[in-house]
Amino acid sequence: MNIFDTHAHYDDEAFDGDRDALLSELFSGGICGIINCGCDLKSSLNSLALTQKYPQIYAAVGVHPHEAEEVTEQDMQKLRALYAEKKVVAVGEIGLDYHYDFSPRDRQLEIFEKQLALSKELSLPVIIHDREAHEDTLRLLKQYRPTGVVHCFSGSVEMAQEIIALGMYIGLGGAVTFKNAKRPVAVAEYVPLDRLLLETDAPYMAPVPCRGQRCNSLMIDLTAQKIAEIKGLAKQELIDTCTANAKTLFSL
Ligand code: NI
């Protein structure tokens, strides 16, 4: 199937019982690549460990907005050292989450900006988390102008146009299959094929009819089927193009 999952969390405890067996199944079942995204120092180190075990796994290293409050300067220094690793291909996942507000917004903004600056310094793409923080996210992306992807894109078509005008990619996952998914469907219809990436956010965001189950990268088949229908394309053509896009963005 040649599927590249540009956003997953296989270090999550949801996979503790069968991680190696599942990953072997994914790679023999048609998954050709995965970006495993760190959320803090520990999960970034665990992501790096997965890259050392599996040739198909690459890592994004960074601090998620949920973890912004807890992260220390020492953690940031240790994270910085990880970007020298060859299979660390992005700064992520980073961004803003005004839905949960697990960290104070000032602190989210501070940590996000630091990492945007770092991505520019290191010439690495970013993997952006934006939940109900579209205005601040767009403002900072316009200011720093990184390359990268807005993952699990939940903005409007107008915002997608602005993201694409900045030269960035739109990541779509299981949400596009949900029954109430008006916005993701409109965005999927609009996004030019050369700016689209497929993703899961595994173990979360399983597409219909697996919604609510533990998600894995093979379920991208369902997401791809839905987007292919929306765009009037053959599913495999969509998958192949998105895989090529991922390899271009992450320089693989
Ligand atoms: Ni994620």
**pLDDT tens digits for 69-86?**
999 999 999 999 999 999
Mean of pLDDT values over 101-112? 97
- Span 141-165, average pLDDT: 98
Taking the centre of ligand 1 as the mean of its atom positions, its distance from the CA of residue 232, in whole angstroms, is: 28
- How close is the Cα of 30 to the center of ligand 1, in Å? 22
pLDDT of residue 10: 98
> Angle, nearest 10°, between helix axes 220-231 and 182-190?
60
Question: In the structure, what pLDDT confidence band is assigned to residue 5 with cuts at 50, 70 and 90?
Answer: very high
How far is CA 206 from each of CA 52, 79, 87, rounded to the nearest angstrom?
Answer: 26, 29, 26
Q: Which residue has the tokens 């997401």?
A: 223
Q: What's the CA gap between 77 and 62, in Å, rounded?
A: 11
Distance 205 CA to ligand 1 centre (A): 10
pTM summary value:
0.97
pLDDT of 15 over the 90 cut: yes
- Segment 235-246 mean pLDDT: 98
Whether the per-residue pLDDT at 178 is higher than 90: the answer is yes
Query: At 230, is the pLDDT very low, low, confident or very high (cuts 50, 70, 90)?
Result: very high
